[in-house]
């Protein structure tokens, strides 16, 4: 399998970048939907519309994109010599990816709270949370491109 991945590395890299882009787009947008959802009255048609949008974004775009990102990245990382496992940049990137996955999980939990009309966070909370994926993405991209 590693020979196949090594032979087709540019395809796996392309798939990884496309999936990461889709995942990040959803990760930027979902907390913004939560900001707007906090401004609605639970049970209204507007609130119900947000529930549908949030569910579809998370389940149909973000989660599949996250899975493809992790699988394609893991397959590339399994190619001998592609990653210097002693480099700090690699571990920093990996920690940020795990953090991004944790943020994804938090978004899922928040979606369930909205779905049950039990949101406990303010609009400001989601505005601040919306900055977390940006910070993680910046670090991830710098670690991969610059490799400090």
Q: Which residue has the tokens 């090594």?
A: 6
Cα–Cα distance between 72 and 70 in angstroms, integer?
A: 6
Mean pLDDT of 19-39: 98
The reported pLDDT for the residue numbered 8 is 87
pLDDT at 141: 96
φ/ψ region of 16 (left if φ > 0, alpha if ψ in -120 to 50, else beta) reads alpha
Separation between Cα atoms, residue 138 and residue 148, nearest integer Å: 13
Place of tokens 């549908």: 52
Residue 138 scores a pLDDT above 90: yes
pLDDT value at residue 60:
98
Q: What sections of 38-146 are H helices per DSSP?
A: 45-56, 63-77, 88-115, 123-129, 132-145
Q: What is the pLDDT of residues 97-125, one digit of tens each?
A: 999 999 999 999 999 999 999 999 999 99
Q: Reduced to 3 states, what is the DSSP secondary structure of residue 104?
A: helix
Judge contact between 30 and 107, C-beta under 8 A.
Answer: yes
Confidence of residue 18 (pLDDT cuts 50, 70, 90): very high
Give the helix/strand (H/E) hosting 24.
Answer: helix 9-37
Q: What is the pTM of this model?
A: 0.93
Q: Which two three-digit tokens encode residue 113?
A: 């709270």
Rounded-to-integer distance, Cα 130 and Cα 147, Å:
26
């Amino acid at each position: 399998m590693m020979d196949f991945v090594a032979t087709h590395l540019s395809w796996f890299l392309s798939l990884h970048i496309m999936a990461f882009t889709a995942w990040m787009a959803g990760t930027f947008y979902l907390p913004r939907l939560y900001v707007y959802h906090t401004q609605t009255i639970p049970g209204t048609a507007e609130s119900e519309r947000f529930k549908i949008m949030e569910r579809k974004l998370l389940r149909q775009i973000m989660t599949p994109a996250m899975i493809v990102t992790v699988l394609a990245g893991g397959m590339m990382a399994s190619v001998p010599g592609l990653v210097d496992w002693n480099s700090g940049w690699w571990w920093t990137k990996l920690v940020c990816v795990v953090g991004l996955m944790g943020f994804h999980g938090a978004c899922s939990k928040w979606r369930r709270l909205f779905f049950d009309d039990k949101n406990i966070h303010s609009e400001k909370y989601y505005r601040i949370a919306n900055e977390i994926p940006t910070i993680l993405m910046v670090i991830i991209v710098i670690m991969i491109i610059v490799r400090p």
